[in-house]
Homo-oligomer: A and B are copies of this chain.
Amino acid sequence: MKNTALKINQETLPLSADEFENRLREIGKERYHDNCRFHHLLHSGKLNKGQVQAWALNRYYYQINISIKDSALMSRIKDPELRRVWIKRILDHDGRKDDEGGIERWYKLTDGLDMDRDYVKSTKGILPATRFSVDAYVSFVKEKSLLEGVTSSLTELFAPKIHKERIVGMLENYDFINDQTMAYFKKRVDQATDDADFVLNYAIKNAHTRQEQEDVCEALKFKTDVLWVMQDALYHSYINGHVPPGAFKPEDFNDRYTED
């Protein structure tokens, strides 16, 4: 009996702040999309221009939905102080004027890759898997608890590392990439670090019970799934060559890098 009681306690007692943070970092280590092969190929210069275009085009759909996701989240926050912090994300993304902000910087990337802006904006050529996973992220934030909605952005803990690798790797390895096209990621290194610190502290402060801590872990896992599905779909379509009907097919598709 003593052993059973102990076991129940260990499974139901809240983790300490350190244990909790370690759990979250372990999840990132195993499940963050820097583990995906497509990223290694992207950063190491293996891809051709069309494959980089496909990545930028699909990721664009993620970019334009971040402020929608954050607006949905803000509509559920009752505390003005938290809204005051969170609104910074929307301003960072949308900019305070026409010609700045994260979405605008993303066009610098797609412009630099010689993609037609109207085509990019139409999102017509994105992979259905991209659409479904990004839409799932927006729905998650609408439907789950505020704690889960806020902490689903904990993937930002792992973003600065991948951004730095990307900037160095892509600038070095592709002649169609320059400082201006990489402006988005340069800006995000600092922004994501600040945002992630805030959300990690929020999680530690607001997940009181073991169940709430588990919910936060599941929210982070969910978000890693969103990013992972996008990468897998890019790999399947643009490395292995199974582009689904209606999706973007680069001009240089036949000369793409493959691993078959």
Contact = CB atoms under 8 A, between A and B. Distances in A.
A244 B232 contact: yes
A54 to B, nearest CB: 15
Interface stretch (A128-136, A170-178, A180-188): A128-136
Main SS of the interface on chain A? helix
Interface in A213-260: 221, 224-226, 228-229, 232-233, 235-237, 240, 242, 244-246, 260
Contacts of A237: 232
A4 to B, nearest CB: 22
A105 interface: no
5 contacts: A128-B229, A129-B132, A132-B136, A225-B244, A232-B233
Given A131-B225, A132-B132, A232-B242, 14 more contacts: A128-B133, A128-B226, A129-B129, A129-B133, A129-B229, A129-B233, A132-B133, A132-B135, A225-B244, A229-B233, A229-B244, A232-B236, A235-B236, A240-B240
